[in-house]
Every structure is written in C-alpha cells, then in structure tokens.
Structure 1
Amino acid sequence: MPVRFPAPLKPGDTIAITAPSTGVPAALHTQLDGAKQALEQRGFIVLEGECLRTSYKNKSADKALRARELMSFLTRPDIHAVMPPWGGDLAIEILELLDFTLLSQTQPKWFSGYSDLSTLHFPLTMLAGWATLHGPNLMELGSQQVDQTTQGIWSVLEAPRGTQVEQRASQYHQDGPCQGCPDAKTGFRLTQPTRWKRLDGLHGNLEIHGRLAGGCLDTLARLAGTRFGNLPRFCEQHQQEGVILYIENVEMNPCELTRALYSLRLHGWFHAVSGVLVGRHAAPDASTPEHQSQWDALNSALGDLPVPVLYDLDIGHIPPQLSLVNGALAAVYFQDNAGQVVQTL
C-alpha cells in the first residue's frame, strides 16, 4: 500500500481535539486551554470532542464512544487534523472498533502525538497507508516559551508536499520525563547535554536511509504479530527504499525491555530494516552492576544486528523530541555524538 500524505495545514483549517486514550482531568484544563489558544493564534479553528475533559479509570470515555468520535473526526472532510492532548494507557481497547478499510479509502489528515498514540499511528500507516506524525503532544505546545526542537512540529505539519524537512539533534534535554505537561510559562527544563550514540561504540560517521516507522515500544510490542503491527510486510512493500525503525521506552525496566525487543526479533521486525533509532529511555535503570541495565538490554537484543543502531536520540518521553513522520522517506546523519534527520514529505 502506498503511503499517502495529508495536505499541509494552513490558517483557517480545523483541528479537532479528542482523547482516544486518557482524558484531561480538571486540574489540567487551564493547560489544555493554553494549548488550544496556541492553535488559534496560528490561525486554526479548534473543535473539541466529547471525549476530552474527563478522565476515569485511565480513559476519557468508554471504548465505543472513543472509537466512534475518533472515526468521525478522521473521516470528516471539514476537519484537517486530529491532535489528541496526549497519549495514555488504553488506546488498544478501540483498535478493533476502528474501520481501517474505510480509512484506507479516506483522504488522510494529520494525526499527531506520541506515547500511547503509537497504538493508533502504527496501524494507520500499516493498514490505511496514512503518514502519521510521532512528535510533541498538543499539551506540550501551549507554553509561552517553546523550544526550537518542539517547535519543529510546525515545519512538518505546515510544509507543502514534496518538501524536505531537516531537524537537528537538540543541544540540551530534560533530566526526566514530562509529568503531564511542561511549565506554562517556561516550557521544558532543558539542562542536560544531548549526545546521540552508536550502539557499537564507534565514533565514525553514519548515514541511514529508508522510510520511517515506529513509536512507543511499550505499546508497539503488544501489536507485533497482529494485523495492526505487521512491520515485516511493510518492509517487504518498501524493500527498495529500506525502512528505518525507531522506538522509545517509557516504563519497561531493563529485563522487560530485553523481552520486548526479543519479541520483536522473533516476529521478524529487524530482519529487513536498514537501521534502528532508539530514543532516550524514561524508565528506571539498573541500580547495581549485577543487574541488567537499559544499555545491556539494547546490546543483548540489537548488538549483533548487521545494520546501524543509534540510541539516546531525541525521541519519546524525555523532551524535547523530533517530529518523525511514519511512512516518510528519511535520511539520518550521525557525526560527533549529534546528528540530523531529513524527511521528504
């Protein structure tokens, strides 16, 4: 199935907000309003869904209502993008309720975010052929100060088709995951120097080319082996161009990360990729040398791959992060513990 790209966003377009996973509790409605205002200041019309401002048992509403609202927003021709406030935990409940056949026949629109939203991004690309954006959540866009890396989402969402979008490694990243959303005035606390690394420990330059596919490993590992997560088929369809798999870990301890990565190996996810990109991990690491560490997990599962593996990239729950488009042709350049990603939309 060919990858189809949404039209670029422009002032006057309508952006719908719904929470297909976890809703926004009352204590954070002010931050949500700030994020909405940021969209309006860019000239967009904002439409709120019913599944948004409540959160109970880790979800915004029951699965039928969440699925119905998301399908409505994804298929309505007067809506140009769907931007959930954030991810959550239980988007997987609605997968079987979404009509991916209908979506494959529908003009795509931008669907953006990260974390549990990967549960939806991935099958939208694999089954419906939509290019989807893994990047900052809406709740991270409403601060008075938004860093350059996070702002890069607009260079993707508003770019004309055929544009090459270049994003560089951040200079600094936060010392831990974002708890809910960044400070409304100052944004993220970017204090730690960013250093991209090669898993093989070498320092030479690298180039990796292929179509991007990936997201949050915590949820993608649950899709592997199902029709919603058939990466080997995607690799076969795009074998001439290659596929770059990118992943990030938010909650799995090192042993669970090892098991998840080996599960992907057993499902054939690494057999035909041209490279692997791993984001900074947000999960706890080993406390003593006797225990498996996050690096040990990567080295155990990925260290013998015949393709380049880069880690500690600007992907995932330790902000800031790049805006990566599932399905986009990309070139990744690595040099001197930094790098850049160039995507063709």
Structure 2
Amino acid sequence: MISYPNLKQGASIGVTAPSSGVEDDKHDLVKLACKRLNTKGYQTICGDTVWTEHKAKSAPAKKRADEFNEMIQNDQIDVIIPPWGGELLVEILEHIDFDKLRPKWILGYSDISILLLAVTLKTGIATAHGTNLIDLRGEYSDDTTAMWEKVLSTDAGESILQMSSELYQKQWQHNNASPCVYHLTEKTEWKIVAHEKVEVKGRLLGGCIDIIRHLIGTSFGDVANFRKQFINEEPILWYLENCELNTTDIRRTLVQMKLAGWFDHCSGIMFGRSDKNTPVENYTIEDVYQDLFDELQIPIIYDIDCGHVPPQITLINGAFAEVKVENGKGSILQKFI
C-alpha cells in the first residue's frame, strides 16, 4: 500500500537544501518565498544548508543528509520543500535513514527528483514532483502551479483532477520581476505518438531523466520490488523530463531503463517539455519518441506540463493516475489509493 501524507492548513514547512544551497546574492529570493508562504498561514523553518553553496553543493553530503533526516523525523515539521534543485543530491542517499522516514510530503523537481523517487521506491511513501520553493515567491501563482496546495491536501482515498495549462513559459526572465514569477506566453499543446487521442492508467513514477537514471542498478532504484511490495504488481505510468541531455543521450538512457526492467509492466510514458532536446545528426526528439513507441507499443505522450519549462502539474509518485489527451489538451486524475 502507498502511504499518502496530507498537507494541513497552517502546516510547518521545513526548507532544507539536500542538493544546492542559495548563494548570498539570492538569499532575498528565499526570504520572499518564505514570506509569501507565511502570509498564507504556513510556518517556514529554514535549515543551515539553505544559506550556503560551495563547489556545486550546499554542504558536505553527511551534513545535508543529517539536516534532511532531522527535518523528516521532526514532529514539528509537516512538509519539506527544498529551495531548488542542483547537481549532487545523489551523494546523500547512502546517509539517509530510510527506515525512520515519517510520512510527510517532500515537494520539488530537477535534482530533487532522485530523492523523491528513491523515497517512494524504498518506503512506499508518496512524494510530490512539482514546484520548488523559490518559484513560490510571486504575489500569486498561475493556475497550474497553484494546484500544489490542493494536491498535497487531498485525503487518502480521495482523488484530484488537474488539467493541462493554457500557456507555458518559453524562456526565463530573471531580470523582469512580475507578480506571477513565470512569464507564460506560448500555447500549450500535449502531443501523442501515432494516435489522435489516448487514455492510459497506471501508478505514477518519474522525475528528471538526467538524474533518476543514476538509480538504475542500485538499491535505491528497485522498481520491481516496489511493484511487488507496494502496488500489487500494478502497471507503472512513467513521467520523465529532460534538463540537459541531447537526443542520443536520452535514447541511450531510455534503452538502459528498458534493459534494467524499468519499463516492464509499463502502461505508458509521458515526457515533459524541454528546450534542451538538441538533435544529433538530425536524430530529433520526435525520432526518440517514435523509436520508443515502436519498441514498447504503449502510449507515448509528450510536451506535458512537467519539468524545467514551466508551469508544471504536481505529480505524485505512487498515486494511481488516469490520463486523457485529445486535441492538444490533457487531464490527469490522481487517486490516492
């Protein structure tokens, strides 16, 4: 069985940096995000790792893990939201006390997704792939991003529906501050390989493909055991998003996932938008998706609201999802069962 945390009104939010911390000149962004959350009735508690960054990490691996372990076990903290992702979260996995994890939400994406997936695979505790703390600093959030609160407040046994966004952000404009943080200008269109419409169901698992591929072959990436122990061998519906890989590297990674058994009993695969899908010798990302479809003969959906091209839907690792896509529009119904 999957264990679903629950976000209560007035919850305490622990802010720790298990990957990258925040440089001095960006501390105001963290403080503003915390202020926004405090205004909404939450209490934010920032750990020491948030305020430091040196050699691509907030602190040595053991210190980052210790702070995370303390927050996840602390009864005074209800949910954990890192400031953002980074590069080297993988270093802390061996130092995390997985046997002592309390069922509380961890929310984030990018490098944080390796922690999210490892926690769900090893413990059966649902984790939340969605906005990071820094991007909650606006006066308000777009409708898609704002759903993080409703999703995390959904009771076990209940369901939550999210729709594809109307617009997405083509590029970051860090020097152009706005009440909504994101600058949404481009029309969203969810796409499907070889079909005009699709409906697919399964247990959600996924994250940033650059990062979670490093769980393959480790004790933290045992998908087969997860299916057996926690979801009664139900099919997996994968969601993946690309931060930095070119098309041939994505292809190599997907083949490795397939050979490792990650796509066994898979009902479908969804890919987030990316501006980094650089072709290699005219081998495009559409070619990658077509090759995957030809091999697996399962629904392949792409350009969904997930990842580094915001906004993004809040996707729950472990939740049972029903996804529908037609005419460029999509819906994801997540059931906390």
What is the TM-score with the length of structure 2 in the denominator? 0.94
Q: Counterpart in 2 of 1:320?
A: 311
Listed one character per residue, the Cα deviations across residues 22-77 of structure 1 (whole Å, up to 9, x for unaligned) are: 00112211111111011101211111101101111111111110000001101111
Give, in whole Å, the separation in 2 of the partners of 1:182 and 1:18: 27
1:78 matched to 2:76? The reply is yes
CA contact (8 A) 2:227 2:233 kept: no
Give, in whole Å, the separation in 2 of the partners of 1:343 and 1:230: 23
2:9 partner letter: K
2:145 partner letter: T
1:329 partner letter: F
Give, in whole Å, the separation in 1 of the partners of 2:220 and 2:293: 23
State, as a whole percentage, how many aligned pairs show the same letter.
Answer: 36
1:307 matched to 2:305? The reply is no
**For the structure 1 residues 179 and 283, does the alpha-carbon distance in structure 2 shift closer, same or farther, using more than 3 Å as the test?**
farther
Give, in whole Å, the separation in 1 of the partners of 2:115 and 2:327: 35
Structure 1, unmatched stretches of 5+, are none
What is the TM-score with the length of structure 1 in the denominator? 0.92
Count of equivalent residues: 335
Give, in whole Å, the separation in 1 of the partners of 2:264 and 2:176: 38
Q: Counterpart in 2 of 1:125?
A: 120
Q: Counterpart in 2 of 1:36?
A: 34
1:76 partner letter: N
1:59 matched to 2:57? The reply is yes
1:253 matched to 2:246? The reply is yes
Give, in whole Å, the separation in 2 of the partners of 1:29 and 1:174: 24
2:38 partner letter: E
Listed one character per residue, the Cα deviations across residues 183-211 of structure 1 (whole Å, up to 9, x for unaligned) are: 353421111111111122x21x3211111
Pick from 326, 333, 336: which aligns with 1:335?
326
User: How far apart are 1:5 and its partner, in Å?
Assistant: 0.8
2:318 partner letter: G
Alignment of 1:230-309 (within 5 A): 230-237=222-229, 238=231, 241-286=234-279, 290-309=281-300
Pick from 147, 150, 165: which aligns with 1:170?
165
Structure 2, unmatched stretches of 5+, are none
Q: Secondary structure at the match of 1:303?
A: helix
Q: Secondary structure at the match of 2:186?
A: strand
CA contact (8 A) 1:333 1:341 kept: yes
User: How far apart are 1:242 and its partner, in Å?
Assistant: 2.2
CA contact (8 A) 1:8 1:161 kept: no
Q: Counterpart in 1 of 2:210?
A: 218
Give, in whole Å, the separation in 2 of the partners of 1:185 and 1:116: 26
Pick from 185, 191, 195: which aligns with 1:191?
185
Q: Counterpart in 2 of 1:152?
A: 147
Listed one character per residue, the Cα deviations across residues 271-299 of structure 1 (whole Å, up to 9, x for unaligned) are: 21111111112314228xx4222222222
Q: Secondary structure at the match of 2:116?
A: helix
CA contact (8 A) 2:242 2:277 kept: no
1:6 partner letter: P
Q: Counterpart in 1 of 2:66?
A: 68
**For the structure 1 residues 303 and 28, does the alpha-carbon distance in structure 2 shift closer, same or farther, using more than 3 Å as the test?**
farther
Q: Counterpart in 2 of 1:208?
A: 200
User: How far apart are 1:239 and its partner, in Å?
Assistant: 5.1
User: How far apart are 1:164 and its partner, in Å?
Assistant: 1.2
